[in-house]
Amino acid sequence: MADGAARSRTRGAAAHAVAGRESRALDPLVHDRVRLGLLSALAVGEVLTFVELRRLLGVTDGNLSVHARRLEDAGYLQCTKSFTGRVPRTEYRITAAGRRGLESYLRHMEALIHATRR
């Protein structure tokens, strides 16, 4: 019994140490729920409109605008605005930097998951 408890404490301490390192390494720009959703959707969907993203993520116009602007300012998204007749159309694409940021974030999360399941 004592040997099992010691192994459990060791695994717990190792997972905690890795979790501490990984959480510091996580990109706070990507770690937000809405921004992570935006980048993930665009990594799969290539080009999505503002309306598609709003519906997909279940957020308000203002919320989506703020998060998309933050990613755009960081160079993670490209925004293209146009009109279809008189109707404005805003399209978003993930950039190479955005894809690298998302991939790095996912690697850190996978390492954290792996460490906690050992």
**Residues 86-114, mean pLDDT to the nearest whole number:** 95
To the question of domain 2-117 being in CATH 1.10.10.10, the answer is yes
**Residues 23-40, mean pLDDT to the nearest whole number:** 88
- Residue 22: the pLDDT is 44
Provide the pLDDT confidence category of residue 13 given band limits of 50, 70 and 90.
Answer: very low
Report the Cα–Cα distance between both ends of the chain, in Å, rounded. 19
- Residue 27: the pLDDT is 87
- Residue 4: the pLDDT is 52
Domain extents for the chain?
A: 2-117
In the predicted structure, residue 93 carries a pLDDT above the cut 70: yes
Provide the pLDDT confidence category of residue 97 given band limits of 50, 70 and 90.
Answer: very high
